Amino acid sequence: MFGNYLIGLREGLEASLVVCILIAYLVKTGRRDRLAPVWTGVAAAVLVSMAFGAVLQFGSSSLTFEAQEALGGTLSVVAVGLVTWMVFWMRRTARHLKAELHGRLDAALAMGTFALVATAFLAVGREGLETSLFIWTAVQATDDGVRPLVGAVLGLLTAAVLGWLFYRGALRINLAKFFTWTGAMLVVVAAGVLAYGFHDLQEAGWLPGLHSTLFDVSSTIPPDSWYGTLLKGVLNFQPDPTALQAAVWALYLVPTMAFFLRRPAAAPAPRPQQAAPAADAPAADAPARAAGPAAADAPAANG
């Protein structure tokens, strides 16, 4: 449940921030009449994401065991790739997210209603599809169709509440630190999903070494015990992993975590410039006066 709560919270908060920025920009620029296409795009993205999850769940139920394992393993690897790209992308671009979305929205406004719908759909749909895929792989890995879904729904609801508080200006957090810590935890979760995905591919006969068990601590950590269930649900821990599983887990987790947590290189010092005339001060302050509510400024202010 925790792993899926985390993915729901993280992906949901990204989508909430995107929606907040788009809505706040339209409101502050006096274009409330253009809100309907944005909400249409958001609703379409949510429906497509839910449909994608349903197709994965019900479409795979009619496959043979080997085909199910092959599909599950392949999609697990794809999901880990998407989540890894997502956590690095958000850490790199969070501080510029507001300006980037404003530029896209200006272009969409100039092109018409369909462009507005497409902008909102693409901005929210990416997170929705990633969430559906990752949750489906978690359900397959845990053989539990209830707790992963409950965790994901709770995470999405929490993200929706946080997004509303951001928009109202009632909440401000350091988004850079938030995305760093949640990103690090997701890297750990993704390592377990990747290892389980390779185990699925072994069971499908696509990879060798299914019976080459590296160690077996089932007597110490029984899979049906509360702590075994907790480790399985959070980290996809398996008490008797194959050698390939353990190798994939370590080869992904160690370098990915080290690269993710390393300090970014210091930006070069700007060249000294001649001070602008005092008469230009009001013009320089104009963008700040035109900015949206505090919620919409959160990514830039806290990046």
Smallest CA-to-CA distance from 125 within 6, 5, 14, 37 is with 14
pLDDT at 26 over 80: yes
Which pLDDT score, from 0 to 100, does residue 117 have? 86
Instruction: Break the chain into its structural domains and give their ranges.
Output: 2-264
What per-residue confidence (pLDDT) applies to 177?
77
Mean pLDDT of 27-44: 87
Cβ 179 vs Cβ 95: under 8 Å: no
- Locate 88 and state its tokens: 């690095």
**Contact indicator for 104, 158 with CB cutoff of 8 Å:** no
CA distance 93 to 17: 13
CB-CB contact of 46 with 124 (8 Å): yes
Q: How confident is the model at residue 270 (pLDDT cuts 50, 70, 90)?
A: very low
- Residues 122-157: pLDDT tens digits? 878 888 888 888 778 777 766 665 777 788 888 888
- Residue 17 carries which side chain, given as an amino acid letter? L
Prediction pTM value:
0.67
Would you state the pLDDT for residue 91?
Answer: 76
Instruction: Calculate Rg over the CA atoms of the chain.
Output: 22
Average predicted confidence (pLDDT) for the chain: 78
pLDDT digits (tens, 9 = 90+) for 192-203: 889 989 999 999
How many C-alpha atoms does 140 have within 13 Å on its Cβ side? 30
Q: How many CA atoms lie within 13 A of 256 on its CB side?
A: 24
Strand partners, 213: 242
Q: Quickly state the pLDDT bin for 241 (edges 50, 70, 90).
A: very high
Question: Would you place residue 245 in the very low, low, confident or very high pLDDT band (cuts 50, 70, 90)?
Answer: very high
